[in-house]
């Protein structure tokens, strides 16, 4: 099975979910005594485990739609993989930023906060770009992008209040 990345992989509900999930994990795994290495490992493991669970759920749910095909398991597995790929793609940039803290290129707290704010920006960008196919007015695109980014901002606010 050859991997082909499509723009739909980047602008899917699983990509939005992946960004929200990574932000939430960044929020709950960080304390002042936790290193970037600890955060990186916890977030990476959590993302992979939840991605596998999401992929499994999508595959099982899709089986009834392909029951009459020649290879329903293979077809369902392909669908599940492509449907869930956005979760993994969404985690790459925030984890790369946290990794900068792991290798001591930036301080742990800067790595965490930068990853959180990059998630906010990515959520806004996903919201904005997802509207380009149907929203002709720039105001509407900005409104959807802003509303999507607000989800990320709410996670940052929760982190600030929690710590």
What is the model's pLDDT at position 159? 67
pLDDT, mean of residues 11-21: 82
Q: Is 104 helix (H, G, I), strand (E, B) or coil?
A: coil
Tell me the two tokens of residue 148: 């999507």
Better-scored residue on pLDDT, 51 or 135: 51
* pLDDT band at residue 100 using 50, 70 and 90 as cut-offs: very high
Question: Which region among 57-61, 68-72, 138-142 has the lowest average model confidence (pLDDT)?
Answer: 68-72
Question: Which region among 27-31, 69-73, 74-78 has the lowest average model confidence (pLDDT)?
Answer: 27-31
Maximal C-alpha separation, the chain: 55
pLDDT for 104-162, tens place per residue? 999 998 999 999 889 989 989 888 888 887 888 889 889 988 988 888 788 778 766 76
Asked if the model's pLDDT at residue 49 lies above 90, the reply is yes
What is the model's pLDDT at position 12? 75
Report the alpha-carbon distance of residue 98 to residue 86 in Å, rounded.
Answer: 19
Start-end of H helices in the chain: 7-10, 13-29, 36-63, 72-102, 108-130, 138-162
């Amino acid at each position: 099975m050859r991997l082909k990345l499509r723009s739909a992989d980047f602008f899917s509900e699983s990509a939005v979910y992946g960004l929200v999930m990574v932000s939430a994990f960044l929020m709950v795994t960080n304390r002042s005594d936790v290193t970037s290495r600890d955060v990186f490992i916890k977030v990476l493991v959590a993302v992979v485990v939840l991605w596998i669970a999401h992929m499994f759920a999508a595959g099982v749910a899709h089986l009834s739609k392909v029951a009459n095909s020649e290879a329903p398991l293979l077809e369902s597995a392909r669908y599940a993989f492509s449907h869930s790929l956005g979760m993994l793609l969404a985690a790459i940039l925030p984890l790369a930023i946290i990794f900068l803290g792991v290798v001591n290129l930036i301080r742990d707290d800067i790595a965490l906060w930068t990853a959180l704010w990059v998630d906010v920006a990515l959520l806004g960008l996903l919201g904005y770009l997802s509207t380009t196919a149907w929203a002709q007015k720039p105001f509407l695109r900005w409104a959807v992008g802003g509303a999507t980014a607000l989800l990320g901002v709410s996670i940052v606010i929760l982190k600030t209040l929690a710590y």
